[in-house]
Amino acid sequence: MESFPPSKMALRYVPPLTFLKCTACGTENSRTFKEEDYVFKKTNEVCPKCGNNEMLIVAIYVKEKEKKTLS
Amino acid sequence: MKEGFFLNQLTGLNDTGLGTIVWLIWLALMMLFLFYPTMSQRIQLGYMLRDLERKLARLKLVKDEVRDRTIDAIKRIGKPEKDPTQDIDRLMEFFVIEPESMDPYGIVYKLEHILETGESKFEEEVRKLSPAAEEYKVKTLANLVEVARTTNYLYRIVRHYYLLGKRTSNIYLILQLQMLMPQLMEMTEALRLASYAFAYGQPIGDGIGVLAVAKLAYGKEKARYEIAKDTTVSEIEFENRRVLIVRATGPGGTVGRPGEGVKKLIEREGDNVKLIITIDAGLRLEGDESGKMVEGVGVAIGGPGIDKYKIEEIAKERQIPLYAFVIYESIVEAITPMREAIAKAADTVVEKVKSVLLEKVPAGSTAIVAGIGNTVGIG
């Protein structure tokens, strides 16, 4: 009676993404996670749309792979 | 009659050299199993022990990887003066002894005292190893050391039963261990990923309760203060109702003391509190969808039961209804970096909490909403 071999049970580490929202125009942006990030942190990053230099981190999570739908 | 006719009748084989050899081998094996009946069991035991040995090797690999990651994180964030390796190894063997339960009266408060002592001692040790780390990062590092301690303990337990079964050739012991191995391996792999989350301060699935209440409170706070150790209250106004939001203080890794927080709030507010809502992550069954929100009655809090006991006790005393919202996730998702489906469930929870507040809390009165979970990566 053999259970699954250890190599098949290993989970791959997928780093999360940081989602930011401009406090001026509301544009949402995402980038790879940095160590100092936390949700509801105000950063000095520049908004790609309006150039405002304050963006709020609204979410940090691992993006799921899009499920392919059969057409 | 042909010579050897009866022998051929007995064996059912033609009189060829190969046939005779095969038949003799078969006969020898039969005699072996006849005179040595436990041989098949020994073969099976050897097979299971080899399988366990491979899994144990993997457990050791994960344990060492998490240990190394912990040491690196402490060096990187805490910048200790001397090498923390020995101290980390010592902390990995740290233990807490549960109180005696022969006489269970008062055991909740005894357990609380022991756990608080253990927690503060553990944090103090990690703080000494990380002089340059900010307070909230010390808490996250303490969680990381805790993960390392758990992987070490899992490895030691499996090794103990493996060696015991091997030494005593006890197939039943090995069989029981092998039956549990898939769950133990899954847990170990989850802890390995959890070590990444705590090493870099990433939100985990268990923080969904905290995330939901933080979203409810964000931008509407009238007051914010600490009610208990590592526990914050945010006061907001919602449709002429006063809502007291209790959660662990982020962005460090802590669960706070929501039970103590809710108890103190009710003692302070008196009869004005009309509803207590708790929001937490809950284990889903296989086949359930992760991130699905379900509602129920009671106190949605995990852990040893101290916080749950305190909230239940005071709610019963003041006859305050208890509502609970649980977000389904697996044990792996609870301690690994938060997944998209779970993060997006926070918005659903916020809308549902608002509708319950409108429905069940009269205007002018107060409700308490407690977000339960580890607040790592959530400010």
Q: How far, in Å, CA of B181 to CA of A48, rounded? A: 50
ipTM: 0.86
Amino acid at A7: S
pLDDT of A4 above 70: no
Do the beta carbons of residue A31 and residue A20 sit within 8 Å? yes
Digit-coded pLDDT (tens) for B49-67? 999 999 999 999 999 999 9
Give the closest-approach CA distance of B201 to chain A in angstroms: 7
* CA proximity to B293, closest of B304, B277, B308: B277
Structure-token pair, residue B189: 């792999």
Least CB–CB distance from A64: residue in B54, B339, B379: B339
Do the beta carbons of residue B342 and residue B291 sit within 8 Å? yes
Sequence spans of domains, chain A: 14-61
Third-level CATH fold of B205-371: Rossmann fold (3.40.50)
Q: How far, in Å, CA of B27 to CA of B19, rounded? A: 12
Coil, helix or strand for B296? strand
* HSE-CB for B305 with a 13 A CA cutoff: 5
Tell me what pLDDT residue B40 has: 83
Digit-coded pLDDT (tens) for A38-58? 999 999 999 988 998 999 999
Q: Which residues of B touch A60 (CB under 8 A)?
A: 202-203, 338, 343, 377
Q: How far, in Å, CA of B198 to CA of B151, rounded? A: 14
Tell me what pLDDT residue A3 has: 56
The overall average pLDDT reported for chain A is 85
pLDDT of B3 above 70: no
Phi, psi of B365 (to 5 degrees): -110, -175
Choice between B11 and B353, residue whose per-residue pLDDT is larger: B353
Q: Which residues of A touch B47 (CB under 8 A)?
A: 2
Q: Which residues of B touch A35 (CB under 8 A)?
A: 200-201
Residue A11 sits at the chain B interface (C-beta within 8 Å): yes
Give the closest-approach CA distance of A18 to chain B in angstroms: 10
Q: How far, in Å, CA of A32 to CA of A59, rounded? A: 12
Q: How confident is the model at residue B158 (pLDDT cuts 50, 70, 90)?
A: very high
Q: Which residues of B touch A2 (CB under 8 A)?
A: 47, 51
Q: Which residues of A touch B178 (CB under 8 A)?
A: 1, 3
Tell me what pLDDT residue B257 has: 96
Tell me what pLDDT residue B36 has: 84
Residue B58 sits at the chain A interface (C-beta within 8 Å): yes
Do the beta carbons of residue A15 and residue B193 sit within 8 Å? no
Tell me what pLDDT residue A1 has: 46
Least CB–CB distance from B51: residue in A3, A11, A13: A3
Residue B210 sits at the chain A interface (C-beta within 8 Å): no
Amino acid at A43: T
Do the beta carbons of residue B341 and residue B291 sit within 8 Å? yes
Q: How far, in Å, CA of B326 to CA of B205, rounded? A: 12
Sequence spans of domains, chain B: 5-35, 39-200, 205-371
Least CB–CB distance from B55: residue in A6, A36, A37: A6
Q: What's the pTM value of the predicted model, to 2 decimals?
A: 0.88
What integer is the mean pLDDT of B200-210?
96
Least CB–CB distance from B182: residue in A4, A36, A59: A4
CB spacing of A4 vs B185 below 8 angstroms: yes
Q: How confident is the model at residue B2 (pLDDT cuts 50, 70, 90)?
A: low
Q: How far, in Å, CA of A59 to CA of A21, rounded? A: 9
Q: How far, in Å, CA of B311 to CA of B296, rounded? A: 16
Residue B60 sits at the chain A interface (C-beta within 8 Å): no
Q: How far, in Å, CA of B359 to CA of B239, rounded? A: 11
CB spacing of B338 vs A6 below 8 angstroms: no
What residues form DSSP beta bridges with B242?
B237, B366
Q: Which residues of B touch A28 (CB under 8 A)?
A: none
Residue B201 sits at the chain A interface (C-beta within 8 Å): yes
Digit-coded pLDDT (tens) for A11-32? 789 999 999 999 999 999 999 9
Look-up: residue for tokens 């950063």? Answer: A43
